[in-house]
Amino acid sequence: PQTIYLKDYKPFGYVVDDVHLTFKLAPNSTRVVSKITFSPNPDATDRQFRLHGEQLKLISSKINGSDVSPVMLDDGLLVDAPNETFVWEAEVEIAPEANTALEGLYMSNGMYCTQCEAEGFRKITYYPDRPDVMSVFTVRIESDLPVLLSNGNPVAQGEGWAEWHDPWPKPAYLFALVAGDLVNHPDRFVTQSGKDVELNIWVRPGDENKCAFGMEALKASMRWDEEVYGREYDLDIFNIVAVDDFNMGAMENKGLNIFNSSCVLASPETSTDANFERIEAIIAHEYFHNWTGNRITCRDWFQLCLKEGLTVYRDSQFTSDMRSAPVKRISDVIELRGRQFPEDQGPLSHPVRPESFQEINNFYTATVYEKGAEVIGMLKLLVGDDAYAKALDMYFDRHDGQACTIEDWLQVFEDATGRDLSQFKRWYSQSGTPRLAVSEKFEDGTYTLTFKQHTPPTPGQDVKEPQVLPIAVGLLAQDGTEVTPTTVLEMTEAEQSFEFSGLDAKPIPSILRGFSAPVVLERTTSREENLFLLEHDTDPFNRWEASRTLAREGLIAMITDGVGSDTLWLNALKTAVADSTLDPAYRALLLSLPTQSELAQTLFEQGVTPDPMAIWTATDTLREDMAKSWADILPALVEETKVTEAFKPDAEQSGKRALAASVLAMQTRLDGGAVAKAQFETADNMTLQLSALTCLIQADAAEDALKAFYDQWKDDRLVMDKWFGLQVGAAKPADAANCAKALTEHPDFDWKNPNRFRAVFGGLAMNHAGFHNADGSGYELLADWLIKLDAKNPQTTARMCTAFQTWKRYDADRQAKMRACLTRISETPGLSRDTTEMVSRLLG
Ligand code: HT7
Ligand code: ZN
């Protein structure tokens, strides 16, 4: 496969003045007629007229009304074109029903829908399918289906047809079309300047009772973007459509967002609190793209973080404002460490702005998205809130309607603040997670913190330069009072010291408050100091971090030294968890343990080969000890977390239910599942039903409940995904692969549906000890199914190959087994470009 490089960017030889598309929809023979006006691009020197196109049957093509015979290429066509304005007309035929890759125009449950990001438009018609080519689109859809939607505003409609016009120039990746037998949940929103906008969530008949929450989230997002960023919606209508077969979460097509139904449909009976929170965040994320992504887009796909990092940053700000800021921050860091750190520390490591790729779909990663958002958080911390607001205003003013780069983005910050951000820019070009070592000194009332930063080599980058690290620090006195409130230290050197003078006694530092930089803090804090921080730190993040560190260190000691659970920590944590003045959601996070994968990484970094079974056993023992030694506080926690009001998926109620779920897990260890069984039988919402079912599975007492759950929910695809995923995810290590295999033989296992495939195999990959079972059955099963799926859906296959990204952590036998699986995948005849690239990077 061909490698594309950032350094080779060249503008396209023509600009597109306007695009007219007519779709004559038919499942196996859709005709797409295009009429596009091109003019020479004054910024380009190369006038080659080459259009992208894949899997298209060209019926006819004309320039200025005369037939032309293009040179047909593997990925498009080439024609002699005039060096002046001209009209290109083409008719192509495509087969949406045969499109199982879910990219371009495809069908899901009888409904037509599109997914064009990143390079799906070229499967619809011939076009310069690149984000820097922006144009105004007019679309006519011809079909007998009752609902026909596209981007922009509706222009006209009649029996069997509809026309849409999008006045905002956009790249082809934001094009969308939907046609189906759909029903809507309508609403309206009046913008700050008084514009009345029609809102709709379109779903399959039967799902209309699952739209209300998404609609409220949409209106809250629209209001928030006006209030916080001064950004107003810019069309007469905003449509959201729920689709069952979808490769990712959702897509921000201009005026017509398309969602994986799992990311929009919600009801108390069928969705958990976590589902509700995720739906709220994704609706916000896609809506926020209207400005950060659509009005200002990316010049090329290397700049993906320009829209994704910023939009993730904006959606986390939104969630912090809607819910609890500390809880959101901690949850984001758990995610970052769980998904981005392993990526950045393994064979798939790449910069936030990659410099080359073979298949861009493989770069929609935690690094581009989540690390990209962390970089913006650091920038804001360094320049301050006011300067951030000023820079953002400048960004929107200066670049509206443009396709931009990270250079443009940083320039507005330089202009708004007068700062030189050239060193900061390394966050975009250097891959890998910086490691930050700390030492301290106290002398004559002056406390000195010395930091050393070091980033280990990553693929293609052996030597790293120091990065700018904002390190938020607070100092506490021995009695727990704060002697120095949070101060942001700006580290720019490889080694740097910072002094705090005028202190009476040596303070206890609270370092990297709020996780102010995405680094690994290497500090051997004593157990006493962490216990102190767990009790006293005024920074909620670091208070949680202290407990997490104690949990991790305790578990590592159990694994490597065979010692028992750390009872001092268990007692200190017990006090915090029983403290009813603390937010229940925060307490639920306090008592969550480090993941088994995180423990494997820590052991690996300490030079110990991780044994997944030993990690599982230590974690299980600790949970058992926790349950036993906290038995006396459980009744009060049960009382405190009871929700008596009607179900609301808000921060308050969901926090209580999160804590209650942890309590139930402890109770189950003590009573074998009696309380969980009762909760399962009486639950009137999915959060309670599913937490009870999880406990019953873990107690080996779920046979009846699993059957009852299936009988109750077999007709609800989204709930059935939970049923599939939970069984594999919560299976005992020795059973996980067998469980997954048995589920693939279940009549409801529709492997071509990405949600169902991910439920089973994502569940398997998340079951650390199960996936890494010593006999290699987890690896083999996943490899078999990835090979099978690749022929149908390369994008989802390639993403799921990341299950193997940590393979070098483990013992020689497991490594050999994983390598053999990856090699077997790579040798599959006809393997897609997506999976070929992933597997070759994984094998390094
Ligand atoms: N911008 C979108 C990313 C995307 C995508 C979404 C759905 C299916 C395939 C996709 N490829 C790329 C989603 C987002 O970040 O908002
Ligand atoms: Zn996005």
Question: What DSSP assignment string belongs to 730-796?
Answer: TS-TTTHHHHHHHHHTSTT--TTSHHHHHHHHHHHHHSHHHHT-TT-HHHHHHHHHHHHHHTT-HHH
What atom in ligand 1 is closest to the CA of residue 293? 1
Q: Does 658 fall in a domain?
A: no
Residue ranges of the chain whose pLDDT lies below 70: none
Residues 6+ away with beta carbon under 8 Å from 704: none
Q: Does 631 fall in a domain?
A: no
Cα(243)–Cα(204) distance, integer angstroms? 8
Q: Does 772 fall in a domain?
A: yes
CA angle centred on 482, ends 478 and 487, rounded to 5°:
125
Q: How far is the CA of 286 from the centre of ligand 1 (A)?
A: 9
Q: Are 824 and 816 in contact (CB under 8 A)?
A: no
Q: How far is the CA of 315 from the centre of ligand 2 (A)?
A: 10
380 CA to centre of own chain: 21
**Ligand 1 touching residue 254 (CB < 6 A):** no
Q: How far is the CA of 758 from the centre of ligand 2 (A)?
A: 20
What atom in ligand 1 is closest to the CA of residue 308? 15
Pair 71, 201 in one domain = yes
**Ligand 1 touching residue 285 (CB < 6 A):** yes
**Considering only CA atoms, which residue is closest to atom 12 of ligand 1?**
117
Q: How far is the CA of 711 from the centre of ligand 1 (A)?
A: 34
Q: What is the pLDDT of residue 281?
A: 99
Pair 324, 464 in one domain = no
Pair 401, 464 in one domain = no
Q: State the Cα torsion 228-229-230-231 to the nearest 10°.
A: -120
Which residue in 286, 343, 374, 837 is the catalytic one?
286
Count of the separate structural domains present in the chain? 4
Pair 449, 425 in one domain = no
Residue where a domain stops, chosen among 372, 397, 429: 429
Residue where a domain stops, chosen among 467, 494, 512: 512
CATH number, position 747: 1.25.50.10
**Ligand 1 touching residue 513 (CB < 6 A):** no
Q: How far is the CA of 823 from the centre of ligand 1 (A)?
A: 29
Q: Does 17 fall in a domain?
A: yes
**Ligand 1 touching residue 115 (CB < 6 A):** yes
Q: What is the pLDDT of residue 775?
A: 98
Q: Hey, how many other C-beta atoms are within 10 angstroms of the C-beta on 143?
A: 19
Q: How far is the CA of 277 from the centre of ligand 1 (A)?
A: 19
Q: Does the annotation mark 374 as catalytic?
A: no
**Ligand 1 touching residue 252 (CB < 6 A):** yes
Pair 400, 454 in one domain = no
Q: What is the pLDDT of residue 524?
A: 84
Pair 52, 198 in one domain = yes
Pair 277, 340 in one domain = no
DSSP characters over 55-76: S-EEEEEEETTEE--PEEETTE
Q: Does 152 fall in a domain?
A: yes
Q: Does 561 fall in a domain?
A: no
Q: What is the pLDDT of residue 525?
A: 86
| Nearest ligand (C-alpha, residue 253) | 1
CATH number, position 58: 2.60.40.1730
Q: Are 18 and 122 in contact (CB under 8 A)?
A: no
Pair 361, 279 in one domain = no
Pair 350, 237 in one domain = no
Q: Is 412 exposed, middle or buried (0-12, 13-18, 19+ CB in 10 A)?
A: buried
**Ligand 1 touching residue 247 (CB < 6 A):** yes
Cα(11)–Cα(2) distance, integer angstroms? 19
Domain that holds residue 398: 300-429
Residues 6+ away with beta carbon under 8 Å from 18: 36, 37, 135, 136, 137, 138
| Nearest ligand (C-alpha, residue 251) | 1
**Considering only CA atoms, which residue is closest to atom 7 of ligand 1?**
248
Residue where a domain stops, chosen among 512, 546, 571: 512
**Ligand 1 touching residue 611 (CB < 6 A):** no
**Ligand 1 touching residue 173 (CB < 6 A):** no
Q: Does 654 fall in a domain?
A: no
Cα(276)–Cα(274) distance, integer angstroms? 5
Pair 69, 215 in one domain = yes
Pair 400, 455 in one domain = no
**Considering only CA atoms, which residue is closest to atom 1 of ligand 1?**
251
- Output b/e per residue, 98-122; b: 16+ Cβ within 10 A: ebebbbbbbbbeebbbbbbbbbbbb
**Ligand 1 touching residue 106 (CB < 6 A):** no
What atom in ligand 1 is closest to the CA of residue 103? 9
Cα(319)–Cα(313) distance, integer angstroms? 10
Q: Does 121 fall in a domain?
A: yes
Pair 244, 305 in one domain = no
Please give the structure tokens belonging to residue 213. Answer: 């929450």
